[in-house]
């Protein structure tokens, strides 16, 4: 081509611009990354294929392992699980071969198939939780019993229920399981046992067990072996090559879960919440009442007013050290206790490998009085025959033995350390002691805040448990003393933390904000109502029509333990709290309690309940307060509503069924 002289010659453009090179490099890089990651994924797939799925058929497991007795547990705090373990362990002394099982881990619709196994038996240790509800792990089994009409012909069963007489629905779950299994055609081989935790649950279980085994022997034509020797369930393994990164240091489930926290957070994976506030609530007096705030920012934990917070406490270091000293043990030895039954789902009694120190500090209950089975198993280690006899007698079902266990262990509040100190000839091996002691359980507190107002903060209101025992020792509640000493920021700038998770509850404000609310919560029973008041205040700010909000609170003296006085008076000033009634029990000659104030306002209360669709909430002590308050409502229904006593009882029961009379109580 010829160019005209006034046109500049065009420079030849390069084949690839910088942008092209960049994009090309990026594509090549992504392709390499995809190829490598794909290869990595392909390499890991065979690993997953090699994993065997957990056996969900308890029938197949029983056949495979030659068992003819299965003991299921519905357990919230570990006691039913412990009783279940004791029964399955005892089985071999009575010609049976037992296994303990969590109904949540197995397909319970297979229960009719138990008849396929000769001379078989299913035992159920069922705890009742809340207001007559099943425990979390027994919920699916409960639903199955309600929804199915399977034929249980040929299925032999027995039930032991765990409950508390101070609650309205005493042993509801045990009673229902026993009745329903019979309705479905099952054969009851021994009467329903009902343990009462308000009395002596251990004694109730031992007495039932003492009659249950002879009934089993008679029904199946087997004989007791008469062998009372100790049966170990776990063997001690002391690893030689220890990788300390593989040793548990207090985690509940996943190793190193406290170092790398991953939601969701629950009982097996608690969240390490920072203690943001820890202040004393009472101005004076001999008790320590505290308000604690736990920071849950970034945890993705959600909660509602009325829910419970569970915290995992840590045992008193001085008790741990003293046990180690008495047993002449090196507490820092790394150990593993491995189940001798290789087919068991429960491989270890607590997370292993770990050290004795960690086990006694984080995993085992060393503060509560030991149960009779622990004393029985420990007896062999006493060098003084008198001590041996005493321990065995306390573990027996004889009236003398029961009386001795009640007075020497329970009434005297002797924990395992006190037993060892007061029986100098008793020197068990530390590994056997760790096998026998029950697990240290999480402690539950009613949350004292609203998740709508404080989404990143969970509040606890608690009283420190501390008293003198008849032996002159001081009994310190594990969790409350541990929480009391949680300094917000220590001298070295370290922030105190608490392993926790939230448990949902049915204790809920009414769906309609316009419904009146009557809250009765003396002492620390005020906790959930602080959350309710915060939420009612928040609703009011949103412009919602909020009904009457009335609180009945009780404490000893106005100038001593009027908890949250300032906050309550501010709620009253803002019109959130329409009526604040406080019973100061010791500020005058005659004792005044919340039920006396309820009686004073009986006409207004009856109008709220009967005409205005009010919701009633009671929180606190179940043994006396909740019962007295309920009786007061019977009286109000009779005196103002003109009902007979029978009608009044039925009326309150109907309110409960409708969810208008809610309880959050403890004993």
Active site residues: 446, 619, 664, 666
- In degrees rounded to 5, what are phi and psi of residue 490? -80, 175
> Is residue 238 part of an annotated ligand binding site?
no
329 assigned to a ligand binding site: no
463 is in an annotated binding site: yes
Greatest pairwise CA separation for the chain in angstroms: 127
Tokens 């705030």 correspond to 293
Helix (H) or strand (E) holding 457: strand 457-463
- Say if residues 625 and 591 touch (Cβ distance below 8 Å): no
Residue 525, annotated as binding a ligand: no
* Sign of CA pseudo-dihedral 185, 190, 196, 202: negative
The number of CA neighbours under 13 Å toward the Cβ of 429 is 7
163 is in an annotated binding site: yes
Q: Tokens 């009608």 map to which residue?
A: 647
Q: Is 477 annotated as a binding residue?
A: yes
Q: How many beta carbons lie within 10 A of that of residue 310, not counting itself? A: 17
- Was 623 annotated as part of a binding site? no
Tell how strand 334-339 and strand 354-355 pair up.
antiparallel
Q: Is 102 annotated as a binding residue?
A: no
Sheet strands side by side (includes 517-520): 579-584, 549-555, 517-520, 615-621, 661-666
592 has binding-site annotation: yes
CB 125 within 8 A of CB 162: yes
Q: Is 595 helix (H, G, I), strand (E, B) or coil?
A: helix
63 among the known binding-site residues?
Answer: no
Flag whether 644 is marked binding.
no
75 is in an annotated binding site: yes
Rounded Cα gap, residues 372 and 233, in angstroms: 17
Any binding-site annotation on 628? yes
Report d(CA 251, CA 624) in Å as an integer: 38
What is the distance between the alpha carbons of residues 609 and 542, in angstroms, rounded to a whole number?
26
List 74's β-bridge partners, or say none: 126
Sign for the CA dihedral angle at 568, 572, 575, 580 comes to: positive
Gap between the Cα atoms of 177 and 144, Å rounded = 11
Beta strand residue intervals within 221-379, DSSP E: 234-237, 271-280, 289-295, 308-311, 334-339, 354-355
- Does 549 belong to an annotated binding site? no
**120 labelled as ligand-binding?**
no
Question: Which structure tokens are listed for 384?
Answer: 């003084």
User: Residues for the chain: how many in total?
Assistant: 667
Q: Is 25 part of any known ligand binding site? A: no
Residue 76 marked as a ligand binder: yes
- Is 392 flagged in the annotation as binding? no
Omega of the bond leading into 172 within 30 degrees of 0 (cis): no
Q: Is 79 annotated as a binding residue?
A: yes
**Annotation-wise, does 555 bind a ligand?**
no
Preceding peptide of 45 cis, ω within 30°:
no
658 CB neighbour count, 10 Å cutoff: 10
DSSP label of 306? T
Structure tokens at 531: 């959350």
90: part of which helix (H) or strand (E)? helix 79-90
Is 165 labelled a binding residue? yes
169 is in an annotated binding site: yes
Q: What's 143-184 look like in SS3?
A: HHHHHCCCCCCCCEEEEEEEECCCCCCCCHHHHHHHHHHHHC
On whether 552 is known to bind a ligand per the annotation, the reply is no
610 labelled as ligand-binding?
no
666 appears as a binding residue in the annotation = yes
The backbone torsions φ and ψ at residue 615, rounded to the nearest 5 degrees and listed phi first, read -105, 135
Structure tokens at 35: 């190829």
480 has binding-site annotation: yes
Q: Report whether 162 belongs to an annotated binding site.
A: yes
Q: Could you tell me if 57 and 107 are in contact, meaning their C-beta atoms sit under 8 angstroms apart? A: yes
Tell me if 256 is assigned to a ligand binding site.
no
Q: Which residue has the tokens 């109730």?
A: 204
Q: Confirm or deny that 324 is annotated as ligand binding.
A: no
C-alpha angle 311-316-320 in degrees, rounded to nearest 5: 125
How many whole angstroms separate alpha carbon 324 and alpha carbon 316? 13
The first and second tokens of residue 402, run together, are: 């029961």
**Residue 17 assigned ligand-binding role:** no
Task: Confirm whether residue 594 is marked as ligand binding.
Answer: yes
Which residues sit in the known binding site for NADP(+)? 287, 524, 585-586, 591-595, 628
Q: Which residues are annotated as a binding site for FAD?
A: 443-446, 461-463, 477-480, 666
- Annotated binding-site ranges: 75-80, 127-130, 162-171, 197, 287, 443-446, 461-463, 477-480, 524, 585-586, 591-595, 628, 666
- Residues at the binding site for FMN are 75-80, 127-130, 162-171, 197
């Amino acid at each position: 081509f010829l160019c005209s002289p006034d046109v500049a010659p065009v420079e030849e453009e390069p084949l690839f611009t910088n942008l092209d090179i960049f994009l090309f490099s990026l594509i090549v890089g992504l392709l390499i990354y995809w190829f490598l990651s794909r290869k990595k994924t392909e390499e890991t797939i065979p690993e997953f294929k090699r994993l065997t799925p957990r056996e969900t058929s308890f029938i197949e497991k029983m056949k495979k392992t030659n068992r003819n007795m299965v003991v299921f547990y519905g357990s919230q705090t570990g006691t039913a699980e412990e009783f279940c373990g004791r029964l399955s362990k005892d089985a071999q002394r009575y010609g049976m071969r037992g296994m303990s099982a969590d109904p949540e881990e197995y397909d319970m619709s297979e229960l009719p198939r138990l008849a396929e196994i000769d001379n078989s038996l299913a035992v159920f240790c069922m705890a009742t939780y809340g207001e007559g509800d099943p425990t979390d792990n027994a919920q699916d089994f409960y639903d199955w019993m309600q929804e199915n009409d399977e034929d249980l012909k040929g299925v032999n069963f027995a039930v032991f229920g765990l409950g508390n007489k101070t609650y309205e629905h005493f042993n509801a779950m045990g009673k229902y399981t026993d009745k329903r299994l019979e309705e479905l055609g099952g054969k009851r081989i021994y009467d329903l046992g009902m343990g009462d935790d308000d009395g002596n649950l251990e004694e109730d279980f031992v007495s039932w067990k003492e009659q249950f085994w002879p009934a089993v022997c008679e029904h199946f034509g087997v004989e007791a072996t008469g062998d009372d020797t100790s049966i170990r369930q776990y063997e001690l393994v002391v690893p030689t090559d220890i990788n300390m990164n593989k040793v548990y240091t207090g985690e509940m489930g996943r190793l190193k879960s406290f170092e790398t926290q991953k939601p969701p957070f629950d009982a097996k994976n608690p969240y390490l919440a920072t203690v943001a506030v820890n202040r004393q609530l009472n101005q004076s007096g001999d008790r320590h009442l505290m308000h604690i705030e736990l920071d849950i920012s970034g945890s993705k934990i959600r909660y509602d007013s009325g829910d419970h917070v569970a915290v995992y406490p840590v045992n008193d270091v001085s008790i741990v050290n003293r046990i180690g000293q008495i047993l002449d043990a090196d507490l820092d030895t790394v150990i593993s206790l491995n189940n001798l039954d290789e087919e068991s789902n429960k491989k270890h009694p607590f997370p292993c490998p770990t050290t004795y120190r960690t086990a006694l500090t984080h995993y085992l209950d060393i503060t509560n009085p030991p149960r009779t089975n622990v004393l029985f198993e420990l007896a062999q280690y006493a060098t003084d025959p008198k001590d041996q006899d005493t321990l065995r007698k306390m573990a027996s079902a004889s009236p003398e033995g029961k009386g001795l266990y009640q007075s020497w262990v329970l009434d005297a509040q002797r924990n395992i350390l006190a037993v060892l100190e007061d029986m100098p000839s008793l020197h068990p091996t530390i590994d056997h002691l760790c096998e026998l002691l029950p697990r240290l359980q999480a402690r539950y507190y009613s949350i004292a805040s609203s998740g709508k107002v404080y989404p990143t903060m969970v509040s606890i209101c608690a009283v420190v448990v501390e008293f003198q025992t008849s032996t002159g020792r001081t009994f310190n509640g594990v969790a409350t003393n541990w929480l009391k000493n949680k300094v917000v920021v220590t001298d070295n700038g370290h922030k105190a933390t608490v392993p926790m998770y939230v448990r949902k509850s049915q204790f809920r404000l009414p769906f309609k904000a316009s419904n009146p609310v009557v809250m009765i919560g003396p002492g620390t029973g005020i906790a959930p109502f602080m959350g309710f008041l915060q939420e009612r205040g928040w609703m009011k700010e949103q412009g919602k029509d909020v009904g009457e909000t009335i609180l009945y609170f009780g404490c000893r003296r106005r100038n001593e333990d009027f908890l949250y006085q300032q906050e309550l008076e501010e709620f009253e000033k803002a019109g959130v709290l329409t009526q604040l009634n406080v019973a100061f029990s010791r500020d005058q000659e005659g004792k005044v309690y919340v039920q006396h104030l309820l009686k004073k306002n009986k006409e207004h209360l009856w109008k709220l309940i009967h005409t205005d669709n009010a919701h009633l909430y009671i929180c606190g002590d179940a043994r006396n307060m909740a019962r007295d308050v309920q009786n007061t409502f019977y009286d109000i229904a009779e005196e103002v509503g003109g009902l007979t006593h029978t009608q009044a009882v039925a009326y309150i029961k109907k309110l409960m069924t409708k969810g208008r009379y809610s309880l959050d109580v403890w004993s």
